[in-house]
Structure 1
Amino acid sequence: MNSLSIKKVDEKVIEKIVNDNKQFLSSSNNDKVKYFFKLPNKLVINIYNTNTILLQGEHISEFINKYDLKIIEKQSKEIKLNKNLQLPNIGCDEVGVGDFFGPLITCCAYVEKEFEEKWPELLSKITDSKKINDRDILTLFEQIKDKVIWEVYILENSKYNRAYDLYKNTHKLKAICHNQGLKRIFRNNENLKNSTVIMDQFVNEKSYYNYLTDQEIVIKDIYFETKAESKYISVACASIIARYHFLKEIERLEKEYGVKLPLGANNHVKEVVNKYKKEMPENVIKFTKMHFNSKI
């Protein structure tokens, strides 16, 4: 469900909202809610004793415009931007690292300066993809995909397994994939070449560049920060876009090989991995990260 919270709403505005919608007034079990409305257009309005209004459902933007509501906090609780790295910038993140099944996918996403002002309702829903359920990831991607500039790099399982056999280091694989994705976004969008790049840190800066010494072209001047996906809008967008493509790849692999591919690396997943290793020895390498320890 879409939702947006507006704090410190003027009493006169609240009075107008109440008068305009009094026929839709309902009771609430929350004693902190002063007024509770269920509108026929599937919009739910909670007006709290603190003069905070929580909107849930559909047509939130129309309601905000109708009553000229001012969104003081444009950022969700999860997105607290570093003041030295304001938009616009490019965020980088990866998915598939801890899953037995499916590829390794990196994404870099450029978010423009005006993003917060143009889509405050969408901003309130953007956070680290690990904190969003898969159904909402699919919906969020559709809302984000045309509002940011992005590239994904997919290291399919067969190539992943060959690369791991060569390097024996997953951090190196992640570094290579991120570098490939950044090369793509700059090659396809020359106007972005001077953009600040933020990466969710999985190794320190020195190690990252050491992993890329054998690469012909290396994108440098990257800002590394841990848990960046919960601090920067661009990294959170990259996280969501990467997760979307990971889910779609899992779906494709299941259909192509007639298998079920549970996510993660728990004992249930290990049982499935071992089953496929016995039953499908030739194909299992095409949808499984073979270096993972499947011993239960």
Structure 2
Amino acid sequence: MSSFAEYVLGIKDKLNHGGLRTGAEKPVPYGLRIDVEDGGTTVPVTLYEGKKGFSAVVAGKAGPLKETVEGLLRGAPPVGNTVGKPYGFEDLTGYEAGWIGTDESGKGDVFGPLVVAAVAVKPDTVAALTGIGVKDCKQLSDKKAGELAGQIRRICAGQYQELLLLPERYNSLYAAMKSEGKNLNHLMAWAHARVLEDVLEKVPCRFAIADQFADVRFVESRLMARGRAIVLVQKPRAEQNIAVAAASVLARDAFLRNLALLSQRFGLELPKGAGSQVNEAIPRFVAAHGKAALKEVAKIHFKTFEGVL
């Protein structure tokens, strides 16, 4: 049987994936009270741990938010006009048939590739992805991300795309962009637009959502005919949307697997991130393979390489 802490996390995930935000928490006798919010409305949900197991009690005034919370906890679809809509689509209609989410991994990692993924979801796949616990990869262990990635690829077969830019290709593209007076955001926009277009070729869709990492026009300007015909939502923390969360898991899994392959190829462990472990690994790599080989394993525009190259 799962622990009460796991039960609480499961309830919060279900509410978050239903488009709601979980706020303040307060311990109560035999349980925990959580405020569930949507805009200016709040409904308290109390989770109890008893001899017969776990339970949830939804309090507050009757209304769309309370109905939605009760429905989500029963496993029913959200109700109401804006309450319970997927993150990013609160003010939109017509997305219900399905939409696409994009996300990336490796952008802030010195070693390893940049991976950008796109996933198309429909009502049945939304339910399936939610059911297996898909969430923003930053909330998952590497092992769990790998397990979920395999399940996502099965559930969304033929409805996703992964763009892998190994360091050598990434560095070449970055240099080309820089020579045109562009920066990393332009490269990111190109990559997001490409995977979005690739999925649109497989799955006709009218809506898409991505994390807003720069001026919204960056991605829009890179879209081709198919992409320009859709409604593209760009919002901070877009990983709260299940399609973007699924894309984040696929991208993270592909990043980790390819980082491991590079480590194996060069016989040295290439660490994640951009911290002290990376700073220590660079001279070891140079001693073993020379400076010229860095472009094959690392994103050499990082300030980490000032004075090295």
TM-score of the pair, normalised by structure 1: 0.70
| Structure 2 Cα separation of the partners of residues 216 and 118 of structure 1 | 31
| Structure 1 Cα separation of the partners of residues 149 and 279 of structure 2 | 30
Partner of 2:268: 259
* CA contact 2:103–2:117 (8 Å) conserved in 1: yes
Q: How does 1:207-222 map to 2 (within 5 A)?
A: 207-210=218-221, 212=222, 219-220=227-228, 221=230, 222=232
| Matching of residue 277 in structure 1 with residue 286 in structure 2 | yes
| Structure 2 Cα separation of the partners of residues 118 and 140 of structure 1 | 12
| Matching of residue 293 in structure 1 with residue 303 in structure 2 | yes
| Structure 1 Cα separation of the partners of residues 278 and 293 of structure 2 | 17
Q: How does 1:5-154 map to 2 (within 5 A)?
A: 31-32=30-31, 33-35=49-51, 46-48=53-55, 50=56, 70-71=74-75, 80=87, 82-83=89-90, 84=92, 85-86=95-96, 88-118=98-128, 120-122=130-132, 125-148=133-156, 149-154=159-164
| Structure 2 Cα separation of the partners of residues 119 and 264 of structure 1 | 28
Amino acid at match of 2:236: T
Partner of 2:211: 200
* CA contact 1:179–1:218 (8 Å) conserved in 2: no
Partner of 1:226: 236
Q: Which has the larger radius of gyration?
A: 1
| Structure 2 Cα separation of the partners of residues 110 and 276 of structure 1 | 39
* CA contact 2:192–2:219 (8 Å) conserved in 1: no
* CA contact 2:130–2:242 (8 Å) conserved in 1: no
Question: Following TM superposition, by how much is the alpha carbon of 1:243 offset from its aligned partner in structure 2, in angstroms?
Answer: 0.6
SS in 2 for 1:219: helix
Show structure 1 runs of 5+ residues with no match.
8-29, 37-45, 53-68
Cα shift readout 1:47-102 (whole Å, capped 9, x = no counterpart): 24x569xxxxxxxxxxxxxxxx933588xx9x756342545100011110000011
| Structure 2 Cα separation of the partners of residues 218 and 170 of structure 1 | 24
Q: Against the structure 1 CA distance between its residues 228 and 119, is the aligned structure 2 distance closer, same or farther, given a 3 Å change threshold?
A: closer
Cα shift readout 1:22-56 (whole Å, capped 9, x = no counterpart): xxxxxxxx9442126xxxxxxxxx324x569xxxx
Aligned residues: 236
Question: Following TM superposition, by how much is the alpha carbon of 1:175 offset from its aligned partner in structure 2, in angstroms?
Answer: 1.3
| Match among 154, 170, 174 for residue 188 of structure 2 | 174
| Structure 1 Cα separation of the partners of residues 11 and 114 of structure 2 | 39
Question: Following TM superposition, by how much is the alpha carbon of 1:143 offset from its aligned partner in structure 2, in angstroms?
Answer: 1.8
**159-168 or 246-255: bigger deviation:** 159-168
Q: Against the structure 1 CA distance between its residues 87 and 262, is the aligned structure 2 distance closer, same or farther, given a 3 Å change threshold?
A: farther
| Structure 2 Cα separation of the partners of residues 120 and 182 of structure 1 | 22
| Structure 2 Cα separation of the partners of residues 292 and 251 of structure 1 | 20
SS in 1 for 2:123: coil
Q: Against the structure 1 CA distance between its residues 120 and 157, is the aligned structure 2 distance closer, same or farther, given a 3 Å change threshold?
A: closer
* CA contact 1:155–1:177 (8 Å) conserved in 2: no
Question: Following TM superposition, by how much is the alpha carbon of 1:165 offset from its aligned partner in structure 2, in angstroms?
Answer: 1.7
| Structure 2 Cα separation of the partners of residues 120 and 279 of structure 1 | 45
Percentage of identical aligned residues:
25
